[in-house]
Structure 1
């Protein structure tokens, strides 16, 4: 009965409030604030309904933009990042037709964050640049400084995702210069910058500075309730102590981070804390704890991937609709243009026939690639049943080639002698778990990876590692690293259109290959196509919808 009464009261109040807001900007702002701060924590569906009603009665571009951004913020709270981004894009189209630079910048900043969380860093950077170009046109000096600080902070997040930690530190310093000159939310924004400095210095292995900045952040938030930034600080301090082998101290901070993550819906926070937890359990040799956390992280990653895939799917649908509209326009053009089009089609038909075979190979390869991605144990890029791709080049495309070759010769000789490696079960499970982390963290993209390096990194010896790779990955060390690297490039080329704009030499460097030519040879051996041709076909598949079922 109480729930029914509450619903009736809220509904009646909302109807009158919305009607009042349609006439009075002050009433509009009060209702906007009430929905976001008071109604949404208690009744999210009602909050979304009111936000939608606000948009329907909004008479000006500003009110339409604000109501759309209210809905976008509510969907962001629910981690519905795709819906949040779509609403914000609609809001930007509306406000960009006005001279309200303040809201243009605010919407651009929101979109930059959404696309970063969707791991679409190219689009995130685009909106950051757009905000920087507009921020100087805002009349309010306080707003200019606050916005500039937030933009540089967002650019720092992008640099960290790209592993450019020196650049991220520069953006954070620039961000803080602006935050130092504002009055509202200064402590929280500064705390977030300190947390980002701690993370950057941690990745640079400067653990003393990392601890200093993490602690600064916690001090600034000492009187604030638990939040995402606090959780990241606790997690960062725990990670530092793990690196220093100070496991009891690491456990204390990790427990605090896990508590905050448990009460939060912020998936990136959960993912980071689960990653650190796995490292801790490996250090204390608690394989049961490791496996439990790993399952949680897999669940979070699946949810994050689902959000990103949902956005990409909707983007492809919009692209297909635009293509259909373009086709209708082409059909409506005059006869001379149609004749010219036919002439062009006839002229390229021979070339198309030549390319057809390559396209079939490409489509088959992508279909097989998608199947293998869904089967964690498959690992290799080569399919024995179809035999559609040749064996990879025998040249070792990692550093310390001679040492790797020698180690593999020793392994082969050992096998011919009939000797079997006897590895304790606990050691075996530890090495396999560490290999999983090695793959998840993309450490294979380092140009310095070698058999001896990886053995040292996993705290084992080359013979054990070679034996485990042969028995559990069904490949030697060279094949294992090349598989990981090519899979890494293929995954990013498929999922992030920005990668297709890189030069081949940049792709080679990102994957860890020592030269453009070596990368090209190995890539062609795996796919049957050169990197440039493969990218051309991949872009063509997504634009024209050819064999879309295989690619998505």
Structure 2
């Protein structure tokens, strides 16, 4: 997750230029809050809240609210981040905020959207802001840094869409608007280099990436006062060694990065490190470490995903409470009337659709990715051939009516949560073990699976595994470098042949053919 160090710098300038008599004192306090943001978000929140209580200046209050909001985002607490961000509306007085503060408000909203994975909404705001000649040509230091952060955020959006060339181009544009005369600029530049490392690796330029990230790590270690940036840099560095199949070195670097933030609540960054550690330990065939870190990853990821969905609900509330305001500042004079009640209503509807369908559409996305394989759809389903329970039942159990609707709903809810956990990748998972975990009668569980999923337990779990690994191959190019035997073991299959048979029955093609097709599409 990208962290917005930008806010603090241009706010410091704002406080100095707008409130000359009190600016210097406030800027010193604000700089301390900024330092704490990258050292310990909880300490930053406590410190900033104490300043918020004693400061009666409206713009100062908005500034402090944004620091607190960003600290919550760095913790992965998107609900509180959005909630705090909406509270600043209490202090705003219409037509009294400067041009800079209006731009800052729109940038803040774009960043909130990106934190919540609403990338289209984020990109629309950024594009409108960067279309402003007034903003791009301004010599105001605080506006120049705003532009630097907008280009950085746009680069991250391009990276999400796998357009790494444009992502690197936007990071270069961001660098043109920063200098090395203060802490805020230094951190933006450091973040840009870390992101550049990731995109260079994606472009298959490992040595260029290695040289860049080693320089970043060396500089950070000399200062030793930014644990968040250090951990982020180590995680990026580990990717180089993973691609070189030096998994021991990758683990060493990741463990060092984790030690920097292990006792700090940078939860989103911890999720990334847990995931990377589990991948490397899997490649090293260290089952104990793999399962330990994979469990930490799954538990924390589930917590963050839940908070993300709740954050979307809060961002909708933000839109509702600002219907008559220019939330997404576009060309201060030309487009102010464009945002009518109808456009905001449509935006709310779109966000509501995303909120309610994101989970239900997740499993359908894989099928949509395979639409171009229509000729493969008529291949016979072979799941039953490797099932230990025999052929899939074609008739419902005559005793199905004995399960109450309430009990069936309860079982389906538990199955849904279990599917999200990824525990079906455990090769020892069986109907009896799942029944024990869920504290459900084996017969009831088997009957619900047969009736609701249209297949027996083995067919059900095997299809979950194949959908999972096929999705990873599609979305994470590092998996394309694994041998099929590794993919089989990672997916929980007992043998290479069983994995190949089921993979072909679900997707209509062999694992090797699928990997070749994905690689060809990425190359084009």
Q: TM-score, normalised by structure 1?
A: 0.55
- Is 2:440 the counterpart of 1:443? no
**Where does residue 284 of structure 1 map in the other structure?**
284
**Where does residue 207 of structure 1 map in the other structure?**
206
Relative to structure 1, the CA distance from residue 262 to residue 49 in structure 2 (aligned partners, 3 Å threshold; closer, same or farther) is closer
8 Å contact from structure 1 (residues 51, 68) kept in 2:
no
Q: CA deviation at 1:183?
A: 5.7
**Where does residue 458 of structure 1 map in the other structure?**
487
The CA distance in 2 between the partners of 1:465 and 1:32, in whole Å, is 58
Q: CA deviation at 1:296?
A: 0.7
What are the residue-to-residue correspondences of 1:517-536 with 2, within 5 Å? none
Relative to structure 1, the CA distance from residue 72 to residue 150 in structure 2 (aligned partners, 3 Å threshold; closer, same or farther) is same
**Where does residue 63 of structure 2 map in the other structure?**
66
Relative to structure 1, the CA distance from residue 26 to residue 143 in structure 2 (aligned partners, 3 Å threshold; closer, same or farther) is closer
The CA distance in 2 between the partners of 1:213 and 1:49, in whole Å, is 37
The CA distance in 1 between the partners of 2:271 and 2:466, in whole Å, is 13
Relative to structure 1, the CA distance from residue 467 to residue 218 in structure 2 (aligned partners, 3 Å threshold; closer, same or farther) is same
**Where does residue 114 of structure 2 map in the other structure?**
116
8 Å contact from structure 2 (residues 75, 268) kept in 1:
no
- Is 2:154 the counterpart of 1:155? yes
Question: Could you say which structure has the larger radius of gyration?
Answer: 1
The CA distance in 1 between the partners of 2:255 and 2:117, in whole Å, is 28
The CA distance in 1 between the partners of 2:476 and 2:276, in whole Å, is 25
Q: TM-score, normalised by structure 2?
A: 0.58
What are the residue-to-residue correspondences of 1:9-408 with 2, within 5 Å? 28-29=26-27, 32=30, 47=47, 49-54=49-54, 57-58=56-57, 61-76=58-73, 78-89=75-86, 91=88, 94=92, 97-98=95-96, 100-133=98-131, 136-137=134-135, 140-179=139-178, 185-225=184-224, 226-316=226-316, 397=371, 399=373
The CA distance in 2 between the partners of 1:70 and 1:235, in whole Å, is 25
Q: CA deviation at 1:65?
A: 2.4
The CA distance in 2 between the partners of 1:257 and 1:441, in whole Å, is 30
Superimposed CA distance per residue, residues 350-388 of structure 1 (whole angstroms, 9 cap, x where no aligned partner): xxxxxxxxxxxxx9xx89x76x98xxxxx899xxxxxxx
8 Å contact from structure 2 (residues 175, 192) kept in 1:
yes
Superimposed CA distance per residue, residues 53-77 of structure 1 (whole angstroms, 9 cap, x where no aligned partner): 246x33xx42442343344345445
The CA distance in 1 between the partners of 2:200 and 2:237, in whole Å, is 12
8 Å contact from structure 1 (residues 261, 273) kept in 2:
no
Relative to structure 1, the CA distance from residue 148 to residue 186 in structure 2 (aligned partners, 3 Å threshold; closer, same or farther) is same
Q: CA deviation at 1:143?
A: 3.1
Superimposed CA distance per residue, residues 397-438 of structure 1 (whole angstroms, 9 cap, x where no aligned partner): 455956x978x68988999xx9xxxxxxx99689x99x9698
SS at match of 1:476: helix
The CA distance in 2 between the partners of 1:276 and 1:173, in whole Å, is 27
Relative to structure 1, the CA distance from residue 245 to residue 427 in structure 2 (aligned partners, 3 Å threshold; closer, same or farther) is farther
The CA distance in 1 between the partners of 2:287 and 2:96, in whole Å, is 58
Unaligned runs of 5+ in 1: 1-20, 324-362, 374-378, 382-391, 419-425, 482-508, 513-552
SS at match of 1:221: helix
The CA distance in 2 between the partners of 1:116 and 1:104, in whole Å, is 19
The CA distance in 2 between the partners of 1:409 and 1:310, in whole Å, is 39
SS at match of 1:265: coil
8 Å contact from structure 2 (residues 180, 186) kept in 1:
no
Q: Aligned pairs, how many?
A: 386
Superimposed CA distance per residue, residues 246-293 of structure 1 (whole angstroms, 9 cap, x where no aligned partner): 233223212212212413322231122122112111111112211111
The one of the two structures with greater contact order (alpha-carbon pairs below 8 A, sep at least 6) is 2
Q: CA deviation at 1:294?
A: 0.9
The alignment's C-alpha RMSD in Å is 5.3
8 Å contact from structure 2 (residues 175, 189) kept in 1:
yes
Relative to structure 1, the CA distance from residue 239 to residue 144 in structure 2 (aligned partners, 3 Å threshold; closer, same or farther) is same
Relative to structure 1, the CA distance from residue 318 to residue 215 in structure 2 (aligned partners, 3 Å threshold; closer, same or farther) is closer
SS at match of 2:223: coil
**Where does residue 467 of structure 1 map in the other structure?**
498
8 Å contact from structure 1 (residues 145, 178) kept in 2:
yes
